[in-house]
A and B are shown apart, each in its own frame.
Chain A
Amino acid sequence: MMKAFVNTLFYGLSVAVIAVMGGSTAAAQSQGSQVVLSSGHVDFGQGQDTQSQSIKVINNGDSSAKIVQVTIIEEGFNERRRHNNKATPVFSITKNIPKTINAGETSDIVVQFSQPQGHSSQQFFGAVQLKIIDEDASDPYFISFGLQSGGSWFERNILVLMLLAPAIGLLLLFAVPKQRDVLCRYVTLGASGLVFVLAIALYAMFDPQLGVGQGNWGLQFVTHTSWIRALNIEFFLGVDGLSILMVLLTAFISFIACISSWTISKHIRGYMMMILLVEIGMLGTFVALDFFLFYVFWEIMLIPMFFLIAIWGGEKKESAAIKFFLYGFIGSILMLVSLVALYFNSGGESLLIANQPLALIDGTPVKHTFDLMKLTYLHDFTQSPMLLGVDFTYLVWILLFGAFAIKVPIVPLHTWLPEAHVEAPTAVSVILAGVLLKMGIYGMFRLNYSILPDATQDAAIFVAMFGVINILYGAFCAFKQTDLKKLIAYSSVSHMGFCLLGMAALTNYGITGSMMQLFSHGIITAMLFLLVGVIYDRTHTREIAAFGGFATKMPWYAAFFGFAFMASLGLPGLSGFVGELLVFIGAFPVFRSFVIVAALGVVLTAVYHLWAMQRVLFGAYDSKWDSATRHDLDRRETIMLLPLAVLVLLIGFYPIVTLDLIEHSISDLLNFYNGTTSGF
């Protein structure tokens, strides 16, 4: 049964890949044109100040060509800047371009780059598009070249490196001879450690002051090239305030998860490969800014996760893995449908700026696009035709929401989560709770909130309702759980409710709180699952009732355990509180009664956390655990727990470090909702 399933999966995938590749080769036909460019790309390097570069236009044909139109496209200057600020363009053509290029003639186009004030490190993208009419033929055609400036090599490629590092690790793992388990571990640790180091560099170089108004959609560390031309798919990576925290979280949690995987001994090579593959998928999802690429990474994450649960899981691993996969897959299908729908409705009527053509990054004009930034800032889908009798934006919104709701997870779509957690090995639980759940909320911000603001506005109250239900439902269920992992899984359901409530408010504080809650829940829950793993390694049980009095025997363990539980119940001074506070403050003016009901959650949260904690740590100690509790935390366990604890404490008292990073992007996001929401 399993095998058949896996086979189907592989066949399906390979067919899909072949189809896509075939499509791309088939489409790469030449125009048979006469006019070509000496280069397809102009690069201004770091682009410190004003500078010019020229590119040659050569007519290789035997008839002269007329240049009827020259368009300069500047990526990421949204409508507002273009029309209101009257800012000087970043890219311009200085020399007049001849109207006609005779056969065999060569002409120069000089492009000038002028650095806007105050943003030395920022990247800019653009393109020049020439519309050409042959003297012979009547059909006009386009030739174009891309423009790029700003950013060092490292800045331009850091995200690619972050994706490559685990991939290289993966390849190295193939080379590791059998039975060399330790080497496998170190290779994986090295790969994810490299990602972590790159993430720290990313954090150090990230400029929190950049916003959409300053061009390039406010993105940083952009890698943007065309990928599959036949389908207008681009390889578009970038980071902004919405994703920076998630990227940092992913790199951090994956690294910690690698350390915690040290105890795995079964099929270690395969396991480590899967972990690295998941890391690629997660990182890719957070940095991909092309919808198709986003979808690909989303799927990449799903499949190895399935194997991790199915092969390295507990007793009922098969059913849990299949359930996880089915739920995830249903989500993917919903996303795929909306992906297609959005793609085919992009361009044309939906475009906000009629005079700027829709184009790929190198200026090739296209009818439709997968570019999330263009879908966000250049499109308004409210005018799109109805689908299945439903308003287009509503339908797509619901499809996307469904896709992400499964990941969040929103009650009643949550049943895969406790099961997957219970069966998954510790490191997988850590990744699952620490990062995977965040993809749902992130996806909503990146797609629902950015692309379909009108539908979001109308649906906000439902999102808030889901949030409140999640908070209370998760808390009540958590109280009744007897399995420690299930309890934490339900507490995740409850905590994700805060994110939903905050984001539904559509206020600055609410959305900031939601992002903060995402981040801090990531580190706190990772810590909780690691702690459960520690005790499970020793006692081989997770039944809360089986424990008791462990504080005496394992004081350091108890200290971390208490710390993590306190953080999870939202104690001020630890990171969990900041998010909750901001969510409440942000949501209160909008959903008063919801917030009051949700605030009851603070009581319930305290009840189930403390109740579980005291049954594990306090009370009478059963001497049957003597051999299990002989050792307190060892060095490896301390190394993986301590940084998490420090981070929790740091953010608890000094949240401004994370708030600063996201502030700008959130206010940009809220520009879609300006004037329509009430709030402070």
Chain B
Amino acid sequence: MSADALYTVAIPKLVELDNLWLIVLFPFLGAVINGLLGRQLQAKFGKSIIHYIAIGMMLCSFAVAIIAFAQILTADDIAIVSQAFPMIDIGWLSVNFALYFDPLSVVLALIITGIGTLIHVYSTGYMKDDPAYWRFFCYLNLFIFSMLLLVLGDSFVLMFFGWEGVGLCSYLLIGFWYKDMKKATAGFKAFVVNRIGDFAFITGLFFLFWGLGGHWNQNNNYDVHSNRSYEAIPVASDATSVDRLTSQDNKELVSQMPSVVFRDIEKQMTLSVRSAETGAIQKPFADALTEQTVGGIPLVFLICFLFFLGACGKSAQIPLYVWLPDAMAGPTPVSALIHAATMVTAGIYMIVRLNFLFVLSPGVMTVIALVGACTALFAATIGMVQHDLKKVLAYSTISQLGFMFLGVGVGAWWAAVFHLLTHACFKACLFLGAGSVIHSMGFLKSHDKSDDTEDNSIQTEPTHASVEEKPSPTDPQDMRNMGGLGVIMSHTRRTYLIACLAIAGFPVAAGFYSKDEILWKAMSNGQTFIPGWILWSIGFVAAGCTSFYMFRSYYMVFYGAPPSEQCQKHAHESPRSMIHVLWVLAGASIVTAVLGLPHLITGVDAIFAQWLAPMTAPFVSTTGVASAAWLEGILIVASIGIAVIGWLIAKHFYHSTHASMEKRQQWYQQFRLVHHTLYNKYWIDELYQMTWVRGFKSLSHGVATVDKFVVGLVINGGSKKLGQAFHKFAQVLRLHQTGYVNNYAYGIAIGTVVLVLVAQAWF
């Protein structure tokens, strides 16, 4: 590169604001106060003091998020960084505790603090009988702290702090009722599966830094970069789309050193260098990653693929989804907050955050799209036959996350994030509705409970149940124990219905617009190696399944058999704190549609698309299909159609009482094998158990055996032998230690003579 080349970088201007890092301090403080003093406070002042602290902190945090949002909304094209303190500073590795607010992270911060606050409020009702109330709110606040770090951290290191932190909180909250070993084990499983993803994630990180850390000389050896920096300076007017940073009058350096800060990496990746002599435009850093191969694999593919595996762990995608259904062992508000609205979407966030990297590798994008689509369908099929209400929702979450991955895989960044937003609303609503139902059905388990502990838990579903097995009569989560609750719990029913409409894809609610945008982008993209129509078809079928299993659960819970006597006596509508939250979320599930009304309807790009456009790199190439409005229209109609079909089938089998029961049985018999396979979740858990778990156990058994016997025998045995030899030798010598002085004198005399003789002979 010649010295007089021109450089351009395409990212928003950076603004520093000092106090925004308070957003993470508040929940952290809440967690610390409740964690250290919660027990005493609760004992002294009652439970309300606990949630006043926790919710108060959440509100403060939410307020800061709104301030940050307002800043970005009002100013033109900026990102805000808020530095707190330095953490590591060695060589190029400079890590600050700094938060980065841009259109993406501020939206997520709003979701986290907003929905987080709602779920805190809901929990005051749901958890009010739990003696470990303080512990619950401590964990919840700690989770919010970690999640905010994850999305707001300005560097990989800080993101990883949050990434592992949410894993920890998820572990603690899944195993909240730890007296039940099964629940503790579910937390364990979640943590370990996540760690497998983390392994891939950090390995990807190492490859990335290694790739950015230098370049390769002719011998494929690694050279250290010089300390030189590029300076982003204003370019000529013909570079219209890429000089947004440079149009500002402030200059920003693009360092040649590797960095863990997202913004630095983004600058490097988007850096275009125009040679002053030839006029050719190069991307020095991006090219370094795309051109280099490791073991025949392009480096950028490897990096992105490893990151994606990390995302699979956190966001429960094939092949690492197995922990999420088990995670339902936690209290229901936790399932809503962590395992539906926020934490599980961290993978999506990470990929969108690194979109500048992922667009460099269409191969990985294809993999992401395919895995996402397959997961969407796979999980949806399992969800169609589950009896446990929370399990249905868990598989539904996996399936919806699959849609989001499909979205990012085809470069529909905004659509994926928009689906993340709408999903956060309607899935939180569904989970909390389910929680309301379970709360109301809680009387079932009181029959066989005798424990005096803080365990007021719900029993998990037996894992290897066969189809014909009768429901456990004490299980408040089994939908077969429910039915007809709509009469008793009308608020819950109505909010649940709204959320069902949203997820199933009826155009009255936001879920339709986000999902449909993803499907349309999947269809019209020309970048993935798999034709768009295949991706679309998989997603389309999955959408049908979604509609079916959601309405199946709706009818099984609220319609069907009339409530039993017992039910009528005990079941009740939930307290007001819970109902209000449900209505807020149901309302949000509809209102958010405004953000994503498609171009086809309004004639302009969706608001949300415009919002995210500054920080996402374009990926979708405009194929001929993309501009075909008629096709988009047809697909929209088809989407609505499949949703209606799913709904009608569900209604047919599950709406009324007697007749549909028979029809159901018939149906089960007809597709016995299919049903059995789906009900047992394709036996994937068993497969993993047989391969990975057993493999690990036998390996560790082998190593421990080696340690005990081989190393033990060789080293210890060797030293023992040596010891024995000494012992024997000493026994021989001891015979001569007679204690008689004359014996010693003889010895000395003989010895002297021998020595003299030897000396004589020698010299």
Contact = CB atoms under 8 A, between A and B. Distances in A.
Contacts of A679: 224
A481 B185 CA distance: 19
B696 A607 contact: yes
Contacts of A596: 203, 206
Contacts of A559: 35
Nearest to A680: B213
A578 B178 contact: no
Main SS class of interface, B: helix
A524 to B, nearest CB: 16
A509 B454 CA distance: 47
A678 interface: yes
A509 B90 contact: yes
A603 B191 CA distance: 9
Given A573-B161, A588-B209, A595-B206, A602 B199 contact: yes
Contacts of A551: 178
Interface stretch (B337-345, B662-670, B698-706): B698-706
A614 B214 CA distance: 44
A480 B209 contact: no
A595 to B, nearest CB: 6
A610 B195 CA distance: 12
Given A480-B700, A606-B191, A618-B175, A654 B85 contact: yes
Contacts of B92: 680
A588 B206 CA distance: 7
Interface string A504-547: 00001100100000000000000000000000000000000000
Interface in A564-584: 566, 571-573, 577-578, 581-582, 584
B307 to A, nearest CB: 14
Given A508-B90, A589-B222, A611-B188, A549 B179 contact: yes
A600 B692 CA distance: 14
Interface string B255-290: 001100000000000000000000000000000000
A619 B701 CA distance: 24
B221 A678 contact: yes
A619 B715 contact: no
Contact of B210 (A473, A479, A589, A619): A589
A415 interface: yes
Nearest to A660: B89
A679 B224 CA distance: 7
B88 interface: yes
Contacts of A610: 171, 188, 191-192
A620 interface: yes
A617 interface: yes
A476 B704 contact: yes
A477 interface: yes
A512 B90 contact: yes
Contacts of A577: 164
Given A606-B195, A611-B188, A585 B93 contact: yes
B624 interface: no
B87 A655 contact: yes
Contact of B91 (A412, A473, A508, A592): A508
B178 A603 contact: no
Interface string B439-453: 000000000000001
A171 interface: no
Given A584-B202, A589-B210, A655-B88, A552 B179 contact: yes
B652 interface: no
A559 B142 CA distance: 14
Given A412-B715, A480-B704, A656-B87, A571 B179 contact: no
Contact of A573 (B93, B165, B192, B702): B165
A515 to B, nearest CB: 11
A663 B171 CA distance: 36
Given A476-B700, A614-B175, A655-B88, A602 B97 contact: no
Contacts of A477: 700, 703-704, 707
B436 to A, nearest CB: 28
Interface in A615-631: 617-621
Contact of A659 (B90, B160, B188, B207): B90
Contacts of A412: 711, 714-715
Contacts of B187: 614
A549 B199 CA distance: 30
A599 B203 contact: yes
B707 A571 contact: no
A174 interface: no
A474 to B, nearest CB: 9
Interface string B694-736: 0010011111100100011011100100000000000000000
B85 to A, nearest CB: 7
B39 interface: yes
Nearest to B175: A618
Contact of A479 (B163, B165, B700): B700
A603 B195 contact: yes
A41 B333 CA distance: 76
Given A477-B703, A584-B202, A603-B196, A572 B164 contact: yes
A104 interface: no
Contacts of B163: 572
B222 to A, nearest CB: 5
A656 B88 contact: yes
Contacts of A97: none
Interface string B669-698: 000000000000000000000000000100
Contacts of B90: 508-509, 512, 582, 659, 663
B236 interface: no
Interface string A636-658: 00000000000000000111100
A565 to B, nearest CB: 11
A653 B91 contact: no
A559 B714 CA distance: 41
B192 A607 contact: yes
Interface centre among A472, A600, A679 (most CB of B within 10 A): A679
A340 interface: no
A680 B179 contact: no
Contacts of B85: 654
A585 B209 contact: yes
A420 to B, nearest CB: 13
B168 interface: yes
A422 B712 CA distance: 16
Given A680-B92, A680-B224, A680-B258, A588 B210 contact: yes
Nearest to A621: B179
Nearest to B157: A581
B181 interface: yes
A326 B703 CA distance: 25
Contacts of B93: 509, 582, 585, 680
A23 interface: no
A602 B198 contact: yes
A551 B702 CA distance: 32
Nearest to A581: B157
A618 B175 CA distance: 9
Nearest to B177: A618
A385 interface: no
B87 to A, nearest CB: 6
B46 interface: no
Nearest to B89: A656
Contacts of B161: 572-573
12 contacts: A479-B700, A480-B703, A508-B91, A566-B168, A572-B161, A578-B88, A584-B202, A588-B206, A596-B206, A603-B198, A619-B184, A659-B88
Shortest Cβ-Cβ A-B pairs, 4 listed = A480-B704, A476-B703, A618-B184, A618-B178
Given A413-B715, A585-B93, 9 more contacts: A476-B702, A477-B703, A552-B179, A571-B165, A585-B206, A589-B214, A602-B199, A653-B87, A653-B97
Interface of B: 35, 39, 85-93, 97, 157, 160-161, 163-165, 168, 171, 175, 178-181, 184-185, 187-188, 191-192, 195-196, 198-199, 202-203, 206-207, 209-210, 213-214, 221-222, 224, 257-258, 453-454, 696, 699-704, 707, 711-712, 714-716, 719
